[in-house]
Structure 1
């Protein structure tokens, strides 16, 4: 009898244990951010699981260059994870239109994000939001504080001050004033045109007006930034035309250039490579007292696979991603990738703190070509690369550039007012 009772007790214990285990839900996250694997495994997932017993999470990234194709194949085979890391704009919109991402508009936590933050993961009319915004990158200028101290330089706030500063650095001759080349083209548009441009077209006001057809790329506010870019050329150093993106990074981190037109994604790499103190300043305004504008560009979000077998658990995770706890972990673990929620986050990295402080000082926008305007051929984003290089080199006038870009857009895009 004792043996029988003991065996029954063991069986009961096993059944209870298996029942508890059966109640656990495991969520799988698809992502291209394979360089973030340790962050998810060591910090993000343990924090979530600690506050959500019964839900386990697995982060299963794919190489960035393979992600889109691999995800598409998994979704078609109904083998994709519960949670899908979302690229901004059309890539994710296509998944939503195909019925592969769930509309999350009714997720209460969506109220934690601004309209600008959500725009990258919404339908064109804004009626559905299908990914929770996770992080953005901010544009501006990173500078060598040691070089500035050595030359007695101050951070500029206006365009006149900016060019006077560049003149002083060039006249001294110790440093290349700015490290940026035109060989790879995209930097000229991303860290050039879409860095300073929002000051001219007034951020979201101009960007939305362009989409609606109320403004054109031939208008002064879209043409004049190219004229300003042309004025950069004398300060970019010898042979800037052949200088690649890695060349520019190295020139700055080795201390040979005083200023780097930047995206905040550079922070971690620059912290590891530069042996001098760095600071950052926002795009200069045209005239003292003007409103400042920054490109606070939506970079990554996360949504729910419409075919997920665990929708309640997936929604719980997405709500947590919108929380201050997630924002604090993510923002400090990846300096330069800034949480998009409205919750204040106390960042510890000095350079990241400088970038994100501009959110409280300036109007925020996103890159002008990314929403709707680059769906056709010619692709406006890619055309802006070449246009920005042409502006810097002076191979086309700003007016010629504007006319070419508008003609390309007119050839396939009919604004929807």
Structure 2
């Protein structure tokens, strides 16, 4: 062995030993979080690249509503990125079953996550974990503190107080009581039905009973939220039927509405847009003293495209995403996305901290339709979008909606047959 060859061998050994990546590679990330582009470019990616100079990372998001279709087209065409941002449960499980995502069970850093955190990105039997958990989001309501102070409104804790507050805002006329439209449909289910619903079906108790076939969508626990949504229509402002998701965001951040049915994912964007002080309150319980339930939804993970040309670099990035360092950066670069890593993280943003504080006050669950129940046709998640819109518009009764959804689920899901 020549001296130069020995030097090269020693250098290569050192790189391997330190976990550095010796060969230049560029990784592309597919995501639906287009609001986060600048944060990835300015904070997250530079932190990774500083430690791994041989790997460049590009974050290339699609619009949220188009992500699934765009991603599937790219995967089928062989043009998808190296890293795939993963929606929870069945959508990503389908990608794994189709051979598009790699089993990451042997990634050492997976030990940083609990079984519950990993369950959103595992096979039903838990034998394969195919995405690194990144964060959950919490549902509730964001409100304009200035508007509440002007109108003398206290933060509502019960549904009676909630609707009294809406009525006060409506009677005053300065603000639209609540900013949400039904044009895009998914908001009505995500920030409506699955926001308030856990207080009716008692979170995991009801969700698991529905999966087991022990409860039905015609039960009062599952139809009553539609009756409550039917009362929302009077407070959403003129033309809410044609109002898009971005419209609603603008209406609230411009100070034209007092309340915004929300997920904590809005925090970072709203902080940059609103020039008033914001607060958050959890979904109101039906009566004072009731146990509260929140949707603390395993929202986002990241996996490796099985067809990537850069598997080593991709695994290096995924191991970093699973580290406490990433959890700290991500939680505070994207306030409102709460880490799933077992490492403790201090949340600096006050609005995000308000959301996450509910974990110690309420029972946590996830969105009712995401695990198992949307695998067939008709798809229960998509059907819940339409049902939630119909409830708000008063187009169908809660009982009619429950019967239609139950019929659809029973048509393909054996525990309900």
Q: TM-score band (shorter)?
A: 0.7 to 0.9
Q: Identify which range, 343-352 or 20-29, moves more after superposition.
A: 20-29
- Given that 1:116 and 1:365 are in contact with CA atoms closer than 8 Å, whether structure 2 keeps it comes out as no
Give the equivalent residue in structure 1 for 2:75: 71
Distance in 1, Cα, partners of 2:81 & 2:163: 52
Paired position in structure 2 for 1:24:
22
Q: CA deviation at 1:106?
A: 4.7
What is aligned with 1:248? 248
Which residue pairs with 1:399 in the alignment? 399
Contact preservation (8 Å) 2:218, 2:402 = yes
Shift of 1:221: 0.7
For structure 1, the 5+ residue unaligned runs are 1-7
1:112/1:410 Cα in 2 relative to 1: closer, same or farther (>3 Å)?
same
SS of corresponding position for 2:78: helix
Cα distance per residue 1:163-194 (max 9 Å; x no partner)? 22222222323222211222332221111101
Query: Who is 1:97 aligned against?
Result: 97
Could you list the per-position Cα deviations for residues 266-301 of structure 1 after superposition, in whole angstroms to 9, with x for gaps in the alignment?
223322222211111111112222221111222221
Q: Pick the structure with greater CA Rg.
A: 1
Deviations 1:346-402 (A, max 9, x none): 222221221122222222222111222222222211211121122122221111111
Instruction: Give 1:4's aligned residue.
Output: none
Q: Distance in 2 between matches of 1:14 and 1:319?
A: 29
User: Does 2:230 correspond to 1:226?
Assistant: no
Give yes or no for the alignment of 1:139 onto 2:139.
yes
Of 276-285 and 244-253, deviating more is 244-253
**Counterpart for residue 3 of structure 1:** none
Q: 1:39, CA displacement in angstroms? A: 3.8
Judge which range, 402-411 or 155-164, deviates more. 155-164
Structure 1 stretch displaced more, 28-37 or 389-398: 28-37
Secondary structure of 2:155 counterpart: coil
Q: How many corresponding residue pairs? A: 404
SS at match of 2:149: helix
Q: CA separation of 1:68/1:299 partners in 2, compared to 1, >3 Å: closer, same or farther?
A: farther
Inter-partner Cα distance in structure 2 for 1:323 and 1:272: 28
Q: Matches of 1:124 and 1:376 in 2, distance apart?
A: 16
In 2 relative to 1, CA 261–84 (structure 1 residues): closer, same or farther, beyond 3 Å? Answer: closer
CA–CA distance in 2 between the matches of 1:335 and 1:116? 22
CA contact (8 A) 1:203 1:293 kept: yes
Structure 2: how far apart are the matches of 1:181 and 1:281?
20
Structure 2: state its 5+ residue gaps. Answer: none
Q: Which deviates more from structure 2 when the two are superposed, residues 256-265 or residues 114-123?
A: 114-123
Alignment of 1:58 onto 2:62: no
Bigger shift: residues 395-404 or 385-394: 385-394
Query: Matches of 1:307 and 1:252 in 2, distance apart?
Result: 42
Task: Decide whether aligned partners of structure 1 residues 162 and 111 sit closer, same or farther in structure 2, where only a CA change above 3 A counts.
Answer: farther
Q: Distance in 2 between matches of 1:227 and 1:221?
A: 11
CA contact (8 A) 1:139 1:263 kept: yes
TM-score, normalisation: structure 2: 0.85
